[in-house]
A and B are shown apart, each in its own frame.
Chain A
């Protein structure tokens, strides 16, 4: 064993390498594998065609989330294709003895919400799922990232994938966040500085007092968005906040096992003197509530700013013009005051209890703007129950908002929750790509606070005036 200082990432990665292939990837062992209805059926079909089984069914966990309806979940799913995917997931998991929290199960919800809230996600683990926002689980000091369906088949059949080890970046954010500045804003700010490809090839560690002082929900939001700057994943060293979150969750270790694991988790931090391939530092005081104006998550800015001019940006002017044209915006426009048709709060990015608390803090005692259609979608049934228990449901109802049932919903619009063509949606989700929320939809990514302010006023509004 070498005594040279190691990063958090190195410690977790190196302990999961089964074999190193010369001039090739590492054979990388996976502790936890999440699957859902959309990216798993072809993998199970592949197993059948090759005559393979599932090597460690107890290490895979299934939930249905991507194309489930968010109303009337007790009724049969109307769309036959979606219904078939849900049925296939049920059949496949039952055939191979894999845990399955399908529609109607009290533990059902978005995969990246239910994993942590049930204690499946733990520090030091390697976690994969056929979904790029698997990076969410990095909030616990795990190495977590999205994989393709071929790799889903690899994990099912061998509990390993073949991955070249990414290079390392540390992003530090220091200082005190201002009023109305949430973890979502921190992430959108970083992405706006790095662009959607600025961290491609890297695995990111987030460090600095902003993340140390952040809740687990906030850390999950930040790590979730790592992929939007091209990084495979992002992680934060586990600390007392992490341990307190995990302690007592259903599938978390208990008793002597807890003590043993806790001792290990406490070693999971970057040693001083460790070297990163790239290191960037930002100041918390430079960050204000953010909003996107274009068609990728890197096209974001402080809500009080004006849309940048192409001449001030690096990169292709024609792609930039195409993007603004799609959005119906002009260079130099202010975003404040732009009309909003839809508001969506939810998704694996901002579908946790803290997000609904933030949303409620602004809508409380106010009314939803008449012309705004709002979809309020909890990340899981557990979050839904919390919304009721904490009185948030009543606040929402009095303000004219209806609570829907859990799922990915309008984030990727695979179910019926589609933003119509040409309409503007302030969305707490993660991607503002063309047509992401429905063909022709126009997405403005923002925090739950910005979403709430837009829902009340019907236009893009700086939420700080309500705080």
Chain B
């Protein structure tokens, strides 16, 4: 099992209302030199989080102690750019288990699920409601239920459903991954390869 299973998550969140947050911001390329999946959280949003002397930038949200939680809420087109899974590792390693946005880049979305992060795509209106709730109360909680496929702003009760295919949902609920599945059908794959 590659990651912990995901069922219901209730947590405060960290807002990042910026569009097109790309994977070079999530984890800059110069931090991709590890050969193990360790310590990437330290460099999450490195150049937004720290200045060139490695001092924390007080105006960046991750350095604001008012905001914390296991949910990251980002602007439209979150995770565009590179296929580096390190971006998802960094988010996971930092302590986030869920990213909410009104639109995700394709590869990032797939990578997230593969490492145990739930990407929750909501409508632009609902995303706006979340940001508004967090402006009012930085500790505003969100509840994400994978079995029900719903996301709720706890303080207002506003709720929306989100999409995930049944196979991936089952994987996340149980902490299974694709490699387990593929290993179980190796014979079928070998036959397919032979007949090509």
Interface residues of A (CB under 8 A from B): 18-19, 21-25, 27, 29, 38-39, 41-42, 45-46, 50, 52, 55-56, 66-67, 79, 81-82, 84-85, 88, 130-132, 134, 145-151, 153-154, 157-164, 166, 196-197, 200-201, 227, 230, 232, 296, 315-316, 318-319, 322, 412-414, 421, 431, 433-436, 439-440
Contact = CB atoms under 8 A, between A and B. Distances in A.
Contacts of A131: 82-83
A434 B80 contact: no
B181 A230 contact: no
B105 interface: yes
Interface in B12-27: 17-20, 22, 24-25
Contacts of A67: 33
Interface stretch (B132-140, B142-150, B152-160, B164-172): B164-172
Given A413-B29, A414-B30, A55 B186 contact: yes
A335 B133 CA distance: 41
A35 B24 CA distance: 20
Given A197-B77, A232-B107, A414 B179 contact: no
Contacts of A421: 52
B188 A197 contact: no
Given A85-B33, A322-B18, A150 B177 contact: yes
B122 to A, nearest CB: 16
B185 A439 contact: no
16 contacts: A29-B189, A131-B82, A134-B83, A146-B83, A148-B111, A149-B86, A151-B110, A154-B178, A160-B189, A163-B110, A230-B106, A316-B18, A319-B18, A413-B30, A414-B32, A421-B52
B34 A200 contact: no
Contact of A150 (B35, B77, B114): B114
B183 interface: yes
A296 B75 CA distance: 15
Interface string B175-194: 00111011101101110110
A132 B83 contact: yes
Listed residue (B30, B84, B165, B196) with the most chain A CB atoms within 10 angstroms of its CB: B30
Interface in B93-112: 103-107, 110-111
Given A148-B83, A160-B182, A319-B19, 9 more contacts: A19-B188, A45-B36, A55-B186, A149-B86, A150-B115, A158-B179, A434-B25, A439-B47, A439-B52
Interface residues of B, number: 57
B81 interface: yes
Contacts of B77: 196-197, 200, 230
A315 B75 CA distance: 11
B81 A148 contact: no
A420 to B, nearest CB: 11
B19 A316 contact: yes
B111 to A, nearest CB: 4
Given A42-B36, A158-B182, A201 B106 contact: yes
A100 to B, nearest CB: 16
Contact of B80 (A81, A158, A230, A435): A230
Given A29-B189, A148-B110, A440-B52, A154 B25 contact: no
